[in-house]
Amino acid sequence: MGSTVNLKNRIKEANLQKIKEQTTVKNFVTWFEIPAYNHYRSVAFYNYIFGIQMTTVELNGFAMGFFPAENGITGAIVTGNGCVPSEVGPLIYLNAGDDLNNVLCKVNEAGGRVVLEKTFLSESAGYFALFIDSEGNRLALHSKH
């Protein structure tokens, strides 16, 4: 009886390992788009709070402002038919560098609104804050410190 139980446990463990290997991916997010009503106002908002310069293109009735990134996950501000800003729905956490206060302190001045000030999660997870951007989207900032 004991050897049958051990064999069943080994089969179960092997199946779990196979499932884990099949479903493990490096990043579950590969791209994000933040909708905007006023493309230039939205691009100016993010350029200001992050101190960046987005490249903008217009194609097939859509305007896209790309977040600059050397590698990893990035995205764009998108304006066009069906791009509707919202305070509800999925929440995107943007990387705010070493200390999110450096970005968060510019949100109100740039035409957004801070919803939740810098909040401690844990030593390993760091901090987060919530804000509404110039277009009415609810987003989050994240940093280790």
Residue range 95-139, pLDDT digits in tens: 999 999 999 999 999 999 999 999 999 999 999 999 999 999 999
Question: What pLDDT is recorded for position 103?
Answer: 97
Higher-pLDDT residue of 6, 21: 6
Residue 9 banded pLDDT, cuts 50, 70, 90: confident
Judge if pTM exceeds 0.85: no
Instruction: Give the three-state DSSP class for 98.
Output: coil
Question: What pLDDT is recorded for position 14?
Answer: 72
Listed in sequence order, the residues at least 6 apart from 94 whose beta carbon sits closer than 8 Å to its beta carbon are: 103, 139, 140, 141, 142
